[in-house]
């Protein structure tokens, strides 16, 4: 239809809706936009032309399955495929409500089953090694202090990396607790250890940028908000230097926070609140992890095993 707006504008309108009406987190918006753009790029080769609203309406179940198979071949897990399908469904559903697009075949797709992969926390001794990183001569002191402040915040408060990097200077912890907005726009309060405050204070003391309350707390070398990729690269370097496994990621520090609290006697409800989990079932994975350890120990040590 000639009266329809171009697909690029429709895509921008959808992203704007996610941000301002849906109130999705920045991490979710970035992931959904990335998924949709990748889907449209795949379709250009799959159907032999740049997709538009009409061609999206003409897609069949096999076309959607072809894209999911393509992403599976790229190594995406079932959990990531679920998010990809959720991104596409969100876009199509929004356009259907706007009267721009109707495709009944998308609704026939089954959502890929998510695996029951357990979290992989780090042992306390490895976590300690990470947070005692020795000086890297190729790295400015303030950058090292910044990265260690982020990692200490992730482990000390159980934050998601997106939550830590979205903090502004005015949100910095100055007492023994802090309030933050997490996944699903949920507000929660977390305790702040002196070690966390000290790490952030040391970074701010060395930071070459003058920060106001509305500026990002953690900044890159150009003074812009630090990206998650920078911290992931830092963890890669630390893994290599310290001989840690590939599971030693920024998110593993959040898992370590929960697992170490549970091992220390904290109850599940308290850990659920600290992590900001919507349901207790998410937190219960850490008890499954403890059971898994017990079973391994049993197999290794029991004379009848």
Give catalytic residues, as residue numbers.
Answer: 160, 183, 251, 254, 277, 286
Q: What is the 3-state secondary structure (H, E, C) of the chain?
A: CCCCCCHHHHHHHHHHHHHHCCCCCHHHHHHHHHHHHHHHHHHHHHHCCCCCHHHHHCCCHHHHHHHHHHHHHCCCCHHHHHHHHHHHHHHHHHHHHCCCCCCCCHHHCCCCCCCCCCCCCCCHHHHHHHCCCCCCCCCCHHHHHHHHHHHHHHHHHCCCHHHHHCCEHHHCCCCCEEEEECHHHCEEEEECCHHHHHHHHHHHHHCCCCCCCCCECCECCCCCECCHHHHHHHHHHHHHHHCCCCCCCHHHHHHHHHHHHHHCCCCHHHHHHHHCCCCHHHHCHHHHHHHHHHHHHHHHHCCCC
């Amino acid at each position: 239809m000639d009266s329809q707006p171009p697909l690029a504008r429709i895509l921008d309108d959808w992203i704007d809706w996610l941000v301002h009406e849906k109130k999705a987190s920045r991490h979710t918006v970035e992931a959904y936009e990335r998924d949709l753009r990748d889907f449209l790029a795949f379709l250009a080769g799959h159907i032999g032309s740049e997709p538009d609203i009409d061609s999206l309406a003409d897609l069949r179940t096999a076309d959607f399955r072809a894209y999911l198979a393509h992403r599976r071949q790229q190594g995406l897990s079932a959990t990531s495929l679920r998010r990809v399908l959720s991104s596409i469904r969100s876009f199509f559903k929004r356009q259907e409500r706007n009267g721009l697009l109707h495709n009944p075949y998308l609704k026939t797709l089954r959502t890929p089953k998510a695996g029951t992969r357990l979290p992989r926390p780090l042992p306390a001794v490895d976590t300690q090694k990470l947070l005692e990183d020795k000086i890297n001569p190729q790295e400015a002191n303030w950058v090292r202090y910044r990265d260690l402040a982020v990692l200490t915040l992730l482990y000390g408060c159980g934050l998601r990396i997106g939550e830590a990097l979205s903090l502004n200077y005015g949100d910095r912890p100055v007492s023994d607790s802090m309030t933050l907005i997490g996944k699903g726009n949920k507000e929660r309060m977390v305790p702040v250890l002196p070690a966390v405050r000290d790490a952030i204070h040391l970074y701010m003391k060395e930071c070459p940028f003058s920060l106001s309350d509305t500026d990002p707390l953690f900044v890159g070398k150009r003074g812009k908000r630090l990206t998650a990729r920078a911290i992931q690269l830092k963890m890669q370097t630390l893994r290599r230097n310290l001989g840690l496994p590939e599971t030693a990621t920024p998110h593993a520090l959040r898992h370590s926070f929960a697992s170490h609290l549970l091992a220390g006697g904290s109850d599940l409800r308290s850990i659920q609140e600290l992590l900001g989990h919507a349901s207790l079932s998410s937190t219960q994975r850490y008890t499954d992890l403890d059971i898994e350890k017990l079973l391994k120990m049993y197999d290794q040590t029991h004379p009848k095993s």
